[in-house]
Amino acid sequence: MNKNYFRIIRAGINSTFQDLGRKNLYHIGIPFSGAMDNRNYLLVNKLTGNNYDHPVIEFAYQGPHLKYHGDKINVAITGDVNFKIKKDKNFIDGECYQSFILENNDELDIISTNKSVYGYLAISGKFDLKFQWSSCSINTKAKIGSNNGEKLFVDQKIDVKEINKNFTNKRLDYVNTKIENIRVIKGTNFDYFSKESKKFFFENEFKVSKLSDRMGMRLEGKKIENFFETNIRSEGLIKGVIQVPPDGNPIIMLSDHGTIGGYPKIGVVISADYDKLVQLTPGSSIKFQEVDLNSAETLFKLYDLETQNLISQI
Amino acid sequence: MIKNISNLGDAALYCDFGKEVNKEINTQVIRYFKTIQKKNIVGVNNITPSYNKLIVSFDLKKINFSELKKIIENIEIIKSDSVRNKKFEIPICCDKEFSLDIKRLEEKLKINEEKIFESFFEKEFFCYMTGFIAGMPFLGDLNENLRAKRLDTPRVKVPKGSIGLTEQFANIYTFESPGGWNIIGRTPLNIFDSSKESEPNLINPGDLVTFKRITKEKYQNYNE
């Protein structure tokens, strides 16, 4: 029997185990999955002294409320998250980007993400998890990953099978910045759309719809008119692709997306902007800015350097 | 042969094999897929074959579009690796409660239910690709008289095992999922099994599939 474990008092809206996801399975219909916000995922693992492919708990909007039982353990939370630590009867305001210690009977109440969607909780040690295709990442639609492919649920026990006995406090001064524009490379069906729609796509704002999840982000705004063909032969998709179905409202493919789709691709979000894109909450405005492939590659190098730089500061 | 290679975003290659969809072109796509898979090119993290396109996505930290494009352009296709042709007979029940769109199809296609099923069950299908949801096979080609468009508004939930038709293709919903295809029946067979990691899909690209009609009683008592 495991003597160290978390008991879930409240599961939160969409709490799942995630890591770097799965590769080379698109051809059988299985997407990457993995942590939506890669930078915050890497940072939470560095703060707890883990490897970069270590399973963590990802939560959306409202996170889980957990009670810990066992030997003391170092944990950390990243994102823009409001949470409290309960020790005896005292509630302490938690701080993101800083490791802290939980002891037997302590509680961790992850109340909400602030003006963002996803946050991450890591422990300095290992959850006892089953892997599928060498990843713990839960894809609730395909019922794949740890926890039988289900999100975390109330009263569930999460066993901790290993604790790193290194309790040094690690921290990082970091503020999640908001993004003004999402940069996009023209899609392979860009010319399916009317001149006005193409212009509108890059000049006006869209709103993020409530119907957004780990699979996709739906946008609302003026309809994108398609004058050529509203369906294409079904073909492969990747994350970041912006498809426009016949109703004219764009959908951006996110980490759990269907691997094949039959709607025209108006654009693809550049890799450098993906982490910020996924953090946009329903109701947020979104504006697209066109960039070419060379700029996108340079912007990715900058994004990666910045991430490495943050990691090295911990 | 690949007619054109372009970039899909900054981390994927879009290989276009032309506009047509037929078994010969699709076999080419699958050959490329298998060759690239065997090559284990550093940075490539997914290869997605479809009817007449192949998308190769990669890790931008390890390789970029122009480097990968050069490799793919100069790749020597393994011809000996013939596309495998396993054969399957899939049992399906077409009782009213399972053939959700049969009435709509009668109207759209202007032929009656019996003719629809007759035309469907006489056919041997070729699996062009799998995907959208895990393990879903895209099977072609339907006889001309069965080709209909997708539903105007897709269903939020299509039941697991449903067989759908659209345009020249049939598919099988491997688990409950949203979808817009015209549903004509349901199979009790498990088409995708995530516990078999090395071979989770029953049907793979290149396989041949026929359907066999079963009664509701058989459907209910079906044991794999």
Of A107, A129, A163, the position where a domain reaches its end is A163
Of A134, A163, A192, the position where a domain reaches its end is A163
Q: CA-to-CA distance for B31 and B29, rounded, in angstroms?
A: 5
Of A108, A130, A163, the position where a domain reaches its end is A163
- The per-residue pLDDT for A233 is 86
Tell me, yes or no, whether A222 lies in a domain: yes
Residues A85 and A144 in one domain: yes
Residues A70 and A197 in one domain: no
CATH number of domain containing A219 = 2.40.100.10
Q: What is the ipTM of this complex?
A: 0.94
Residues A157 and A187 in one domain: no
Which of A27, A240, A304 faces B131 most closely, judged by CB atoms?
A: A27
Residues A136 and A199 in one domain: no
Tell me, yes or no, whether A286 lies in a domain: yes
A271·B7 Cβ contact <8 A: no
Residues A156 and A188 in one domain: no
Residues A206 and A110 in one domain: no
Tell me, yes or no, whether A124 lies in a domain: yes
Residues A129 and A216 in one domain: no
B220 touches chain A (CB under 8 A): no
Please give the residue range of the domain that contains residue A250: 182-312
Q: CA-to-CA distance for B90 and A125, rounded, in angstroms?
A: 47
pLDDT along chain B (224 residues), means of 10: 96 95 91 93 97 97 98 87 80 96 96 96 96 95 93 87 95 92 97 93 94 96 79
B10, B26, B31: best to mutate for the A interface, most A CBs within 10 A? B10
Provide, as residue numbers in chain A, all residues whose Cβ is less than 8 Å from the Cβ of B10. 185, 268, 270-271, 293, 296-297, 300
Tell me, yes or no, whether A170 lies in a domain: no
Q: CA B178 → CA A51, A219, B156, distances in Å?
A: 37, 18, 4
Window A:26-45, CB contacts with B under 8 Å: 26-30, 32
Which of A185, A236, A261 faces B9 most closely, judged by CB atoms?
A: A185
Global model pTM greater than 0.90: yes
- The per-residue pLDDT for B83 is 58
B10·A149 Cβ contact <8 A: no
CA distance B198 to chain A (A): 9
Residues A26 and A119 in one domain: yes
- Residue A161 is which amino acid? K
Tell me, yes or no, whether A172 lies in a domain: no
Residues A224 and A134 in one domain: no
Tell me, yes or no, whether A57 lies in a domain: yes
Which of A25, A29, A241 faces B133 most closely, judged by CB atoms?
A: A29
Tell me, yes or no, whether A14 lies in a domain: yes
Provide, as residue numbers in chain A, all residues whose Cβ is less than 8 Å from the Cβ of B21. 233
Tell me, yes or no, whether A254 lies in a domain: yes
A130 touches chain B (CB under 8 A): no
Q: Where are the beta strands (DSSP E) in chain B?
A: 4-7, 12-16, 44-49, 53-58, 87-93, 125-130, 137-140, 155-158, 162-166, 169-172, 177-179, 182-186, 208-214
Residues A89 and A186 in one domain: no
A174 touches chain B (CB under 8 A): no
Residues A215 and A67 in one domain: no
Instruction: Work out the average pLDDT over A202-211.
Output: 94
Residues A159 and A17 in one domain: yes
- Number of domains making up chain A: 2
> How confident is the model over B60-86, as pLDDT tens digits?
999 999 999 999 999 998 875 555 689
Q: CA-to-CA distance for B182 and B142, rounded, in angstroms?
A: 13
Burial bucket for residue B85 (CB in 10 Å: 0-12, 13-18, 19+): exposed
Residue A1 pLDDT more than 60? no
